[in-house]
Amino acid sequence: MSKQTYKWIGTRPDRPDGADKVTGRARFGADFNMPGQLVGKVLRSPHAHARIRSIDTSAAEALPGVKAVVTSKDFPEQANLIVPTGEMQVNLRDVTRNVMAREKVLYESHAVAAVAATTDAIASAALALIKVEYDVLPHVIDVTEAMQEGAPILHDHLITDGVEPRPTKASNIAKRIDNAKGDIDAGFAEAEVVIERSYTTQPVHQGYIEPHATLASASEDGQIQLWSTTQGHFQVRGFCSRLLNIELSQIRVTPTEIGGGFGGKTVVYLEPLAVRLSQKSGKPVKMVMSRDEVFRASGPAPGATVRVKIGAKRDGRIVAADCTIAMQAGAFPGSPIGPACWTSFACYDIANVRVVGYDVVSNRPKVAAYRAPGAPISAWGVESTLDILAQELRMDPIDLRLKNAAKKGTKTSYGPTFDTIGFVETLEAAKSSAHYRSKVKPGMARGVAAGFWFNVGADSSAAAHVAEDGTVTIISGNPDIGGSRASLALMAAEELGIDYDKVRPVIADTSSIGFNFVTGGSRVTFATGLAVVNSVRDMVRELKGRAAKTWGVDVEGVIWENGQAKPAGSNVGVFEPLTLAQLAATAGKTGGPINGHAQLNVQGAGPGFGVHIVDLAVDQETAIVTIDRYTAVQDVGTAIHPSYVEGQLQGGAVQGIGWALNEEYIYNAKGKLENAGFLDYRIPVASDLPMIETILVEVPNPTHPYGVRGVGEVPIVPPLATMGNAIARATGVRMTDLPMSPPRLSAALDAAMPRAAAE
Amino acid sequence: MVDMKYVAPSTIDEAVGAILAANGTGRILAGGTDLLVQMRLGTAKPGVIVDVKNIPEMMRIEETAGGFRIGAAVSGAIIGEHPALGKAWPGVVEAINLIGSKQIQGRASAGGNLCNASPAADSVPALVAAAATVTIQGPKGRREIPVETLHAGPGRTTLQPGEIVVGFTLPARPLGSGDAYLRLIPRTEMDIAVVGCGVSLIVANGTCTAARVGLGAVAPTVLLVEAAGKALIGSRLDDKALEAAAAACRAACKPIDDKRGTVQYRTKIAGVLLKRAAAIAAERAGAR
Ligand SMILES: Cc1cc2nc3c(=O)[nH]c(=O)nc-3n(C[C@H](O)[C@H](O)[C@H](O)COP(=O)(O)OP(=O)(O)OC[C@H]3O[C@@H](n4cnc5c(N)ncnc54)[C@H](O)[C@@H]3O)c2cc1C
C-alpha cells in the first residue's frame, strides 16, 4: 500500500479531554455524588480459604445510621454459563461468587458482606459488628503446588477440561489446551541446536492510579442509574442485569473519566453490591475501594510457569518449538492461558510447533485482563530462549528473528494465516535505528526482544450529529483510556473534510447509544473508529441528498469534497458548493435534522508486532539495574494521533519494565498479601527511567479505511525478555525467574561467582 | 467513632502538660507525614493531637560554638537550605533530605523521623554517625541522651510518659572532617531503605583519627557499629581498612527476610554501602 497523505490523520492536536484533566475539572469515578447518598463498604475475608459457617448481620443492622446490609443471600444463584468480557471469558456462576462469597471464601479479602450507612465511620463500625463464623481450610497459593496431587481443592465440582479420558476426580486444573502444527518430534530430530529452559513469572497488578468506584441509584419504579469508572459500561450493565435479575433497559450506566484500567476495569466488583444496597435502602449508594482493597481483591495478571524448548539449524533456522505454560487463574477458572499459548510463537514461521497450556486455580484474587493478557508471560520464556539460541549460534539477535519472521501468508500454530503484517519491517526498523547502530557504552549491555498481539474488533455503534451551525458531534460508547476521543475526532474530521476543532467527540451512556463491546483488545480506534467513519459516511450520504434536493438534481450528481457538497461534473449543472454550515442552516427545509448512524461487528483486526531495545548497566555489588536507553519499535498500522500512539508504546514499555524488575505479589504463610500498596508493590517511578524512545513503523491494516491497527497492547509484550536478555549479557547470568529484583538478582550473581561472594 | 482533640500550644511545658493530661492517648504532631498516614490506616487512633509547630524552640536551627542545635520539628526543606549546617554536616543533611519527596520535605522533621522509630528511618544512621545528642523534656525536666539510645525496637522508643524530643545537638566540626549517608532502595526514589549507612570521619594528614558508623534497616533498631569505626581509626582508609569495617558492618547485621529484602542481601549491602559512604566522607574530609 502506498503512503496516503491526509489532512488530519497523523497530526497532533490537543485531546478533547485534555484541558479538563490538567485543570482537575474532569470527573473520575469517586467524583460523582447524589443528594442523600449513603456510603457503601465491604466486609472482606481474613482467611485465604475457609468455609463460611454462618453470617450474623443483626447487630450491624441495628446500628443507628445503617440503612442496608447485603450478603450472598441477596444475589440469586447463577447458571454455569460462560460469557465474554473483553479479552477474557467468565462464568456467571463464578462471577456472582467473586463479587460476594457464597459457600466459601477463596482468597484473603474475598467479599463476604456489604453495608450502606449514612457516614463512613458508621459503615466501618457496622462491618465490625458483622459476625462471620469460618471453618478455616488449608490453602494453596503457588501454581505448581496447586497442580499437585493432594493439594487443597478450591472447587469440588472442578474437573479438568480438555483431557481424554475425562478425569473423575476434582482438581485445581480447570482446563488443558493444546495447539500444534507439523510434527514436533521430527522437527527436533532435524535440529542441530536445542535450547530448553524453564521460567517463572509473578502475578502483577495493572496498577491503575484510580481505585474502583461507583455510585448507584435505584428508583422506586425499578429504574437503575449507575456511574462507574469502567472500561465497558455496557458490560457493567450486562453483569448487573444478570447478577440481579433486572432487565437491561431498566439500567442506565454512565461511564466516568477513567484513571487507568489496562484491562483491570473490564469486570465488576462493586457495582452489583451498590445496586442491591441502593434497592434495599431506597437511597443512592456510593462505593470506593481503598488501594489496599484494589490490591487484595481486584484482578491482577497471572503468574505462571513456562517451559520452552526450541530447536534450530546452525544457520539459525528454527525447525521445532515446544512450550508448556501453567497459569494462575486466581480463585476461579479463566486465566488468559489461551492467548498466552497462541501468541507464544506467533512472531515466527516455524514448521513444527506444540503448545500446551493449563489453567489453574489457587487461593488468590481472580485474575483480570492486563494489556495483551497472557502474551508477556509466554514471550518472557520464548524470547529469552531465543536470546540464548542467538548467543549459542553467535548470531545477532535481530538477524535470528529476521531469519524466522512471520510474514503475509504464514500460518500460525493456532489456526489463522496472516494477511499483511509488519514484523519484518519492524525488525528492520529496529536494526537500522540510531539506538541499535550506536556502540554499546562501556559497562553497559544491550538486550533485544520481540512481541505479538492479535488485536480485536467486535461490536461497535456510533452516531454523528450535525448541529444547526454546521459543527459536528461524534457519539460513541467506549470509555476513553488512551486518547481514543482524539483519534475518533481526527478520523471524523478527515472523512468530513472539516477542521478537527469543529468535531466534538462524546462518550454516551448505555441508554444513549447502541451496544459497544468493552474498551479492550486495542479495539477502539480500530473498530469504534470504523463505526465512526461509517456513521460519518451515513451522514455525508444524507448531506449529499440535501444538496441534491436544494439544487433539484439527482443525488448521484453530488459529491462531497473538503467539507462541501459539489456537483459531480459540469453535466449536472453549475452550482456554488454548499458547505456543511449552509446545509445545516437549511436542514429544516430539506428534511429535518442531519444525522448519521452506524453499527457493526468488526472483523479483520490487524495484528501488531513490537521489537524493543535496551541498554542497561547492572551494579555488580548491589544488583541494581540502571537503564540508559530504551527504544520501542512497533508496526502501528496508521498512527492516527502519533503522540498518543507513542504514549501507548512508552506506557506499555514502562509497565513491562516494572514487571521485569520489581513487581510481585508477596504472600505470607497464611496466604495473606504482604505488599498491598504502592510503597512495597514497586511500579517504576519517573526517575527510574530514561525517556522511552519510539519508532512508529506504519504498515497499514488493509481491512480498515485508514489502515488502523490496535497499538495499546503489543508494547507490554517484549520488555520482560528485553530486560532479561540485557541483564544476561551484562552479567553472564541468565535470569529465568521474575522479578529480577535486587535481592533476587544479587543472589543469582553470588551463586554464579561463589568465590567472590565468599570473600 | 472516637472524639479527637487537637491542641497547638506555644510552649514546651504546655505541650508536656497536654500529653500527660491525655493519659496515654496523646500523640505529638510534627510534620504528620507518619502520624497522619497511620491515622488513615487506622493503626493510630489518638485522643489528643498535640501540634508542636507553634513552639519556637522546636522550629529553629541555632549555631552554638561551632556546633548546631536543630529543633525537632524543623522541616527537611528548611534544614536543606541552611548554608552553614550543610557545609559542616553534609551527610546528616543529605540523609534528612532523602526522606520522601519535595512535598514530604516541606513537612517531615528529623524529630518525627526519629520518634516514629522505624529501623529504616533515613536520618537516624547519619545522626548516629554524627554523634548527635537528643534533648528531651518531660514532667521531670530536661535530659540529654545519645541519639542511638532513643530507639527501643520497631515503633518503640525509650521516651517516658509525657516526654517530648525538643531537638538535636550536633558537635562542632574540626578541620578534616566529613560525613556521608547512603541508602539502598530498589527504585530511585519514593522508597524505604533496604539498608542505610551513615559514616562520619575525621582525617588528619591522611590518617583517620575518628570514625563512627550508623547502620539502618538491618536490625530492630538503628545500630551504632563501634567495631566498624574502630577498624577505620588509625588507618589511611585503604582497601584493607575499608574491608575490615565492611566486615564489621556485616557482622553487626541482625536483619530479617521481608518484602523489602532478604537477610543475605541486606547483610551484603551493609558492607557495600559502608565502603561507598566512607569513600564519600573521606573525600569530603579532604576537601575542607
Ligand atoms: C510519601 C512518603 C514518603 C516517605 N519517605 C520516607 C523516606 O524516604 N525515608 C524515611 O525515613 N521516612 C520516609 N517517610 C516517613 C516520614 O516522612 C518520616 O519518618 C518523617 O521524618 C516523619 O516526620 P514528621 O515530622 O512528619 O513526623 P510525624 O508524623 O509528625 O510524627 C512521627 C511520629 O513521631 C512522634 N513525634 C513527632 N515529633 C515528636 C517529638 N518532637 N517528640 C516526641 N514524639 C514526636 C509522633 O507522635 C509520631 O508518632 C515517608 C512518608 C511518606 C508519607
ipTM of the complex: 0.94
Instruction: Pull the grid cell for residue A204.
Output: 502483577
Give yes or no for a contact between B136 and B15, defined as CB atoms under 8 angstroms apart. Answer: no
Measured from the Cβ of residue B195, the count of other Cβ atoms closer than 10 Å reads: 30
- The answer to whether residue A3 scores a pLDDT higher than 90 is no
Residues with CB under 6 A from ligand 1: B 27-35, 37, 52, 72-73, 98-100, 104, 107-109, 111-113, 115-116, 121-122, 164-165
Pick the CATH number of A32-137+210-259+265-297 from 3.30.750.24, 3.90.1200.10, 3.90.1170.50, 3.40.220.10: 3.90.1170.50
CA of B200 to the centre of ligand 1 (A): 24
Mean pLDDT of chain A: 96
Element (H, E) at A727: helix A719-731
Residue of A nearest to B188 (CA): A688
The CATH classification number of B61-170 equals 3.30.465.10
> At A414, is the secondary structure helix, strand, or coil?
coil
Query: A251-255 and B5-7: which strand pairing?
Result: unpaired
- The answer to whether residue A180 scores a pLDDT higher than 60 is yes
Residue ranges of chain A that CATH labels 3.90.1170.50 = 32-137+210-259+265-297
The CATH classification number of A18-25+457-602 equals 3.30.365.10
B268 reaches A (C-beta below 8 A): yes
d(CA A449, CA B80): 44
Instruction: Pull the grid cell for residue A752.
Output: 554464579
Q: Could you tell me which residues come within 8 angstroms of residue A675 by beta carbon, excluding any fewer than 6 positions away?
A: A295, A664, A665, A666, A681, B259
Chain A residues with beta carbon closer than 8 angstroms to that of B272: 621-622
CA of B112 to the centre of ligand 1 (A): 4
Q: Which CATH superfamily hosts domain B178-287? A: CO dehydrogenase flavoprotein, C-terminal domain (3.30.390.50)
CA-B76 nearest atom, ligand 1: 21
Of A624, A666, A746, the CB nearest to B268: A746
> Which candidate, A411, A406, A391, A296, places its Cα nearest to that of A681?
A296
- The answer to whether residue A623 scores a pLDDT higher than 90 is yes
> At A216, is the secondary structure helix, strand, or coil?
strand
- The answer to whether residue A661 scores a pLDDT higher than 80 is yes
B193 reaches A (C-beta below 8 A): no
Q: Whose CA is nearest to atom 47 of ligand 1?
A: B28
Q: Any idea how long chain A is?
A: 759
Chain pair A-B, CB pairs under 8 angstroms: 56
pLDDT digits (tens, 9 = 90+) for B110-135: 999 999 999 999 999 999 999 999 99
Pick the CATH number of B5-51 from 2.30.29, 3.30.43, 1.10.3470, 1.20.58: 3.30.43
d(CA A12, CA A8): 9
The cell 497464611 sits on which residue? A670
Does pTM top 0.90 for this prediction?
A: yes
Q: Whose CA is nearest to atom 46 of ligand 1?
A: B28
Residue of A nearest to B100 (CA): A679
pLDDT digits (tens, 9 = 90+) for A98-112: 999 999 999 999 999
> Which candidate, A383, A367, A261, A346, places its Cα nearest to that of A304?
A367
Strand partners of residue B214? B198, B224
B239 reaches A (C-beta below 8 A): no
Does 3.90.1150.10 match the CATH number of domain A304-455+606-758?
A: no
**A743:B261 CB<8 A:** yes
Instruction: Pull the grid cell for residue B107.
Output: 513537612
- The answer to whether residue A478 scores a pLDDT higher than 80 is yes
Mean pLDDT of B45-50: 96
Q: Could you tell me which residues come within 8 angstroms of residue A66 by beta carbon, excluding any fewer than 6 positions away?
A: A60, A115, A116, A117, A122, A123, A126
> Which candidate, A238, A298, A398, places its Cα nearest to that of A98?
A298
CA of B137 to the centre of ligand 1 (A): 19
Residue ranges of chain A that CATH labels 3.30.365.10 = 18-25+457-602, 304-455+606-758
What is the torsional sign of CA A290, A291, A295, A299? positive
Chain A residues with beta carbon closer than 8 angstroms to that of B184: 622, 624, 742
Residue B167 carries which side chain, given as an amino acid letter? G
**B187:A743 CB<8 A:** no
Q: pLDDT class for A1, splitting at 50, 70, 90?
A: very low
d(CA A115, CA B147): 48
pLDDT digits (tens, 9 = 90+) for B263-286: 999 999 999 999 999 999 999 998
**B190:A685 CB<8 A:** yes
Domain segments of chain B: what residues? 5-51, 61-170, 178-287
Is A213 buried (19+), middle (13-18) or exposed (0-12) by CB count in 10 A?
A: buried
**B191 Cα to chain A: minimum distance (Å):** 6
Whole-angstrom CA distances from A243 to A67, A100, A108, B59 are 22, 11, 23, 58
Of B1, B192, B265, the CB nearest to A742: B265
- The answer to whether residue A738 scores a pLDDT higher than 70 is yes
Probe target for ligand 1 pocket from B28, B107, B194, with the most ligand atoms within 8 Å of CB: B28
**B269 Cα to chain A: minimum distance (Å):** 7
Query: A472-476 and A458-466: which strand pairing?
Result: antiparallel
> Which candidate, B8, B9, B1, B44, places its Cα nearest to that of B24?
B44
d(CA B150, CA A334): 53
